[in-house]
Amino acid sequence: MQSIAVCSKRYWKATRYWSKQAKSFANDQTSQRLESFGIDGNTVRATGWYADSRSAGAQAMYVILFDATTGREVGRQQVANGRARADVAAANPEIYGASQSGFDVAFNIQGNDALTAALKAGHQLQVVARYTNDKQSGEGTFVHYFFAPQSFQQNLGYLDSLTMKQDGSVQASGWHISNQIIGRPYHYVILFDATQGREITRVRVNGQVDRPDIAKLYPTVYGSATSGFSVNFASSAAIRQAISSGHSLQVIDRYSAAQDGNSDYVDLWSSLRRLSL
């Protein structure tokens, strides 16, 4: 992957223009829109359009994914899908190339260490659309447009139920979504005594619980379709003591990069609950 130098305004080395323009189009006419930008399955997908009369003579269109927090490129693709945009041409007949100004690209998260790190850290990501005369790498002579950076930080969820069973165990179910779970493969659910400020017990989650309802509400958050959890905390003296003493309990849903779940994690804390024996 190529690195790109940026200046203080996050623009790359001086943008260059082709001197020969087609027909009588003005060379300063541009129009653009980022129509969608978010997580789509195991990819970061961006769709939209970028029309620029200075693109006359360009051999290819590229979309570059940029980590706006660190000022680093994390991926680029030559655009093959979504180029035809008759609607854009109809709305902008004065702009050269508007009829082929669309883009629809998806950047794989798995196998892309830079993108994984950016999402895991909650960095802002930015789409850069580029016309270039270099079909091989997207460099050469080019013009481009930086769309506004967007935040990929999400950490939402809800404890649907917390109940004590007849055998003295405690059952917890709910859901938790976050783009920051990328790169954190170990999933734990923790029962916490909020009155005493200490963990009672924890269960490691090995399976996934389908939540199509959450996927419908949050389609652009990573893993929303399988964001559910349902765990059982086995009966213990510590659980009985906390409940019999009327302590407030919380459930912590945790994704961690550490196998023991004790470091490099993202948590979601439930509201306080009380149970009775």
- Does pTM top 0.85 for this prediction? no
Q: Is the pLDDT of residue 240 over 90?
A: yes
Helix (H, G, I), strand (E, B) or coil at 138: coil
Ordered structural domains, the chain, with CATH? 30-151 (2.60.40), 156-269 (2.60.40)
Distance CA 86, CA 88 (A): 5
Q: Is the pLDDT of residue 204 over 60?
A: yes
The token pair at 165 is 């069973």
CA dist 196 to 70, 243, 246, Å? 40, 12, 11
128, β-bridge pairs: 64, 146
Identify the residue whose tokens are 């059982």: 232
Helix (H, G, I), strand (E, B) or coil at 204: strand
* pLDDT tens-digit series, residues 106-127: 999 999 999 999 999 999 999 9
Percent share of the chain, pLDDT over 90: 88
In this structure, the chain runs to a length of 277
* pLDDT tens-digit series, residues 153-162: 989 999 999 9
Per the CB < 8 A criterion, the answer to whether 44 and 66 are in contact is: no
